[in-house]
Structure 1
Amino acid sequence: MDNQQRTCRVVAVTNNKGGVGKTSSTVAIGSILQTMGYRVLLVDLDPQANMTTHLAGSGVEFEQHIGDVLAGSASIQDLVLTYAPQSENADEQAPEEVTPGLDFVPSSYQLNLYEKGITKKAQYASLLRQALRPIRPYYDFILLDTPPTLQTYTLVSLVAADAYVIPAEPEKFSYDGVKAVIEAAADVKDMLNPSLELLGIFFTRYNPKLRNSTHDLVVSTITSSFGEEVMLPNVRKDAAMPKAQVAARTIMDFAPHSNSAIDYHALTAELLTRLP
C-alpha cells in the first residue's frame, strides 16, 4: 500500500434479491474506477463468494476471509489481495489491458458459520465500519458486495457505507426488492448511520428494444415510483459479462469495448458526479 492519504468513499452495492448483477456491478465499477486512476478496494460480504470467484478463479479457497475480520481473529490489512487474471493455459498470454492494483478482500461459504457468533458481539452492526477505519486512508473507494438478503452482512455494510446503489433486473418482483432495500437503508440512516445516502438505482440486463412488455413496465414503474432523478444509466444485457466471469477477469480486461463495459463506464461516470 502507498502512504498517500486519500479521501475514501465507501459504497455498498445491494438489493434484497439475487441475480440482479450486484457482484458484476461491484467488480465492473471498481475496475473502471481503477482505470480512471483511483485506488480501489472491493470487499466480498456474500457467503456465496461470487466476487471472490470472479477475481480469483473457481476452486480457489483462502484460509482467512472477511468473516475472520468481523470475528476479530484477523485484521483487514492482512487479507487484502490484488486482482491478477490468470491465463487459461500456459501458452496463453495474459490480456494486454490488465487492470493493475485492483484490490479485494475475499469471502467464503464459511461466512454462514460466522454469522451467529458475530451477531452476539456488542454493537456488531458497526464491526465492518470499525474494521475498515485503518485501511480507508489508502483508498479512494471501497465497494462492498452484499448478499441478496437484508440480514447481518447487508446491515453491517450499510452501517459502514457512506452511500449505496441498487442494481435491479427489469423483471417481475424487482419493485419489491428495491423498495425493501430503501426502507431498510432508511432505518439504518435513522438509527445507526445518519450520513448514509442513496446514490441511485440502475437496471442490469437491460434491453431498450423491449417495449410494451413486463420488462418495460418494471422500468417505468420503478422510475415513476422513486423519481427520475434517482435513476442511473442502465447496463444492457451482454454475453461478454458471464464470459468474463468464467474467465476470472473483469469486463475491462476481458472485453473493454463490449456493451457492458461501455454502459458501466457511463454509470461510473454518473456516480462520480453524485458523490461529494
Structure 2
Amino acid sequence: MLRLDALSVGYGAPRGQVLGDLTLQVPSGSFVCVLGRNGAGKSTLMRTLAGLQSALDGRALLEGDDIAAMRPQTRARRIAVVLTERAASPGLTVDDVVSLGRQPFTGWQGRLTVDDRARVSASLDMAGAAAFRGRLFDDLSDGERQRIMIARAIAQAPQLMVLDEITAFLDLPGRVEVMALLRNHARQTGAIVLLSSHDLDLSLQLADDVWLLDGQGGLAVGTPDSLIAGGHVGRAFDTDAVRFSPQLGRFELIG
C-alpha cells in the first residue's frame, strides 16, 4: 500500500508549495493515472513520490516505510522510475539497458543470474519490445526507447512504478497498448502503477483511479466515473474554447 500522510510538495522561494496536505491511500495492484493541465504539479508530485526530491512537509509511505528515508539501494529495489526526459545510453544495447533494471539485486559484481536474464527477456516481451533485442539503444526512435525504459522498469519488479508522461512519444495504438499492459501488470503482480499523462480520454477509460490536479493546489481522487459525474474533470480542463461533456465523455468545441 502507498499512503500519503499530509504530504506537501513544491520548491523553495519564489515558487513555493505546489500541492499541500495530501492524505490518501492506494492499495496494491492499482493502476492510477495522474491528470492535470501543464503547470498543475504532476511532475513535482511524481518526483517527490519517487524520492527524487524532498517533500516540503508530510510523508509518502510505501508499505509503511518512509520513501524519503529509504537508503538508495532499498529504494531502487522497491521503486522503478521512468521520466519524460529523452533517455540516452551510448554504446549500450537494448538488452544492456533492460538488464540495468536488475542491478539493485546483482551485488557489486553486477553478474546476472539465470533468473535475472529470464526476467529481462519476459519484460521485453511484455513491453512489446522483443524485436529490438541486440540493437543499440541510441539507434531506436523515441517511442521505441520508451518501450525499452518500460521494460527496464518491469524487469526491476518494484512495488511501486512511477511513470511521468511516458506515452508522450508513442502513437495512439502504442499508447493504448502500453497503458493496457501497465494496468494488467499492476493487477497480475500487485504492484502499484502511477502514470502521469496528458492523454485524458485513455486515462479515463483505463485507470482504476484518477488523481486530478486542478491547477489551484487542489487534488480530487476517485474513479473516472465519479470524477466525471462530480464535475471535477470539467473544472480542471474547461476553457473558453472547449469544455468536457460528461454525457459524451469527451471534449467539445464551444461555439
Structure 2 length normalisation: TM-score? 0.36
Q: Which structure is richer in relative contact order (CA contacts within 8 A, separation 6 or more)? A: 1
Query: Which of the pair is proportionally richer in helix?
Result: 1
